[in-house]
Amino acid sequence: MGPIEPGAGNAADPTLNRLILHVPLIESLPGGAVRLPQPLYRALARARRVACDADQALASLFGSAPLPAPAVSSALAEPRTRRDATRGHWLRFDPIRLLPDLTAVWVDRPLPLDFASAELQPVVAELRTMFEHDGLEWRPSGGGFGLLSLEKSPDCEFLPPDAAHGMRLDEVLPTGPDASRWRKLINESQMVFHQFRAMGRADQQGVGLWFWGAGGNSAPSAVSESVCVVDRADSAIVTGLAEWLGAERLDPGVRFDEARTACAYVHWPLQGTDVQAALGQLVDAWLAPAMHALRRGRLTEIAIVGSSGCWHLRRLDALALWRRAVDGFASAGEAD
């Protein structure tokens, strides 16, 4: 299901009732909540916050729990794995930079490598051989990540890359009865990338694979309302979630007034962007007109989902001028 152009909504269901703004890691904004644009600060201050992770918040908001695991959503996004995505077990891996110093090895963010590119084919061949020796099948993927098709989900806990970022490697490695297998593969993948430093690629130095997002046998979506999805980052996980929800995928340039479904889900990550500019664009395109509609009773709810909580705004909340402090941030503060 491909993106549709701005303004091309669902004419059969023209009224937007709920808006979900998903801003991963907003709670970790440098400088804390006082660095938010004023309209966003006021909205969060007046909202009612529930402590939960993003998956719990979205499952509750969509009324369809549980959501597919990240690896399953990634498989749904890929045409060559979509048919089997909800019937098997999957594990995702991303190339990630690992930075050593005199005290430890530190986990950086995933690297934007394209496994389909010609220059990476020697690395891909070695990684495939590594997986085959361990009895694993690397299924095709068109993006900068890979998928392993498994007979069952590993008896192991994996941290997503965002949670591992900035941490010591030895503190965030997989844990559980099956952990040794995946720790070994992380080490072996580093050796594979290390072999190809002679190719002169700086982004292949200190690189390994990061495994995460395991899951399988996802139940069908139980969403009863029409949903549209706007994804600023073109994320495979969000693309797969839209597929699972049966949602329309709108162009990233769509604005609030152009949404024509009962519920709009907007994914607006801040990583790798000018954070203040990205937040300003979110306010202009979505939050400010949504708050206007909420105060006038033309919108039922705005939900702002972070990584450790969800802020709920209904009409009376939008009018709660006495609420001035934002909960849930590492450094909340109070705006002037």
Render pLDDT for 224-254 as a digit per residue (tens, 0 to 9).
Answer: 899 999 999 999 999 999 999 999 999 999 9
Is the same domain home to 183 and 99? yes
Q: Which of 162-176, 218-232, 309-323 has the highest mean pLDDT?
A: 162-176
Range of the domain at 171: 75-216
pLDDT in tens, 199-212: 555 555 689 999 99
Q: What angle do CA 20, 77, 234 make, to 5 degrees?
A: 55
CA–CA gap between residue 209 and residue 186 (Å, rounded): 6
Q: Which residue has the higher pLDDT, 336 or 289?
A: 289
Q: What pLDDT score was predicted for residue 334? A: 55
| pLDDT surpasses 90 at 287 | yes
Is the same domain home to 114 and 79? yes
Strand order in the sheet with 263-267: 48-51, 309-313, 301-305, 18-22, 263-267, 227-231, 248-250
Structural domain ending residue among the three candidates 216, 243, 259:
216
Is the same domain home to 206 and 191? yes
Helices and strands: H and E segment counts in the chain: 11, 12
Q: What pLDDT score was predicted for residue 14? A: 53
Strands 89-100 and 207-216: antiparallel
Domain-embedded: residue 295: yes
Is the same domain home to 49 and 89? no
Q: What is the per-residue DSSP string for 154-214?
A: -SSB---HHHHTTSBHHHHS-BSTTHHHHHHHHHHHHHHHHHGGGGT-GGGTTEEEEEEEE
Is the same domain home to 194 and 116? yes
pLDDT in tens, 71-127: 999 999 988 899 888 888 999 999 999 998 888 999 998 888 889 888 888 999 999
> Within a 10 A sphere around the Cβ of 314, how many other Cβ atoms?
15
Q: What pLDDT score was predicted for residue 6? A: 37
Task: Tell me the mean pLDDT in the region 303-314.
Answer: 95
| pLDDT surpasses 90 at 148 | yes
Domain-embedded: residue 188: yes
Is the same domain home to 48 and 106? no
Structural domain ending residue among the three candidates 216, 242, 260:
216
Is the same domain home to 84 and 136? yes
Closest CA to 77 of 23, 127, 139, 125: 139
304, 309, 310, 311 alpha-carbon torsion, rounded to 10°: -80
Q: What angle do CA 297, 299, 303 make, to 5 degrees?
A: 130
* Exposure letters 256-276 (e unless 16+ CB within 10 A, then b): bebbbbbbbbbbbbbeeeebe
- Where does the pLDDT of residue 22 fall: very low under 50, low under 70, confident under 90, or very high at 90 and above? very high
| pLDDT surpasses 50 at 1 | no
Report cis status (omega within 30 of 0) of the bond before 37.
Answer: no
Q: What pLDDT score was predicted for residue 5? A: 38
Task: Tell me the mean pLDDT in the region 159-177.
Answer: 94
Is the same domain home to 204 and 86? yes
Is the same domain home to 100 and 135? yes
Is the same domain home to 61 and 139? no
CA–CA gap between residue 93 and residue 170 (Å, rounded): 18
| pLDDT surpasses 50 at 13 | no
C-alpha to C-alpha distances, 302 to 5, 27, 60, 238, 250, nearest whole angstrom: 24, 18, 14, 19, 19
